Structure 1
Amino acid sequence: MGSCGTLTVSVKKRDTVAAALPVQEHWLPMSNLDLLIPPLDVRVFFCYKETLPSHESVNILKKSLAEVLVPFYPLAGEVVQNSLGEPELLCNNRGVDFIHARTDMELMNLDLYHPDESVDTKLVPFKERGVLTVQVIFISVSILH
């Protein structure tokens, strides 16, 4: 659980979502740019009103993510070192970390001028393993008015 002023995010459940179809394990080398530029995590968040019970929404999102991972199977892999010590992408369908969370914060109180303090690791999770982590946060409808 993290907090920042009025921002409190509580994790309800952690899962791993793999591609809906099997993937033959193989390695993809990194490009020269990947090897030159330090690793970068793209971090975004979207806010929606809760229109279904959260467990139904989570199941729909997990099923959709599993289907999306079929053509985008490298996202379900992990970065590992090859025999030369260079990073490569192991396409092994390890899966994407999927976090279901909830908050009772007010969106207007988010300090988007200082996202490292108000958003980072709270609304957008820290990636522990793999290539991609998804966190779904449900916000009470009454707060979004």
Structure 2
Amino acid sequence: MGDASTLAAWAAAVSSVATLTITTVVSGRRDHRRWAREALTDAFVAFLEASWRHSDTVRALASQAPIDPELVQPAYAEMRSQLTRLRLLASGSVLQAGEELLRLQRELQMSDHESRGTAQERVSAGRRKVVECAKKDMGLPR
């Protein structure tokens, strides 16, 4: 009788350790995925907010051609910083779209008064592309 109960106790202990190990690994992976998704979301939002700030500043300075770089540099620098974060967290398609948007923002900044409307439209299309790629990267409905 002692042998069967000892064997049962060992089996229960091994089963308990296995369950604990599996639960720890699975919850650790889940926590890591949650952290990565939240960090990615934060980087996307900060990147797009800086893009909007840059465009809004250019729009507010519509009479200047070219725009004084000092006035838009903070938003542009923030975009570059967030793009660095995206390089660590996002896919290649997101990076390409982000780099293109950054380039379009620079073109907008350098545009003359006559071409500024077209440049703004290109920036808007670039921003939509970043959002589309971000949603795809995060598995969100598009």
TM norm. shorter chain > 0.5: no
Structure with the bigger percentage of strand: 1
Bin the TM-score by the shorter chain: under 0.3
Structure with the bigger percentage of helix: 2
Q: Which has the greater radius of gyration?
A: 2
Relative to the length of structure 2, the TM-score reads 0.27
State the structure with bigger RCO (CA 8 A, min sep 6), 1 or 2.
1
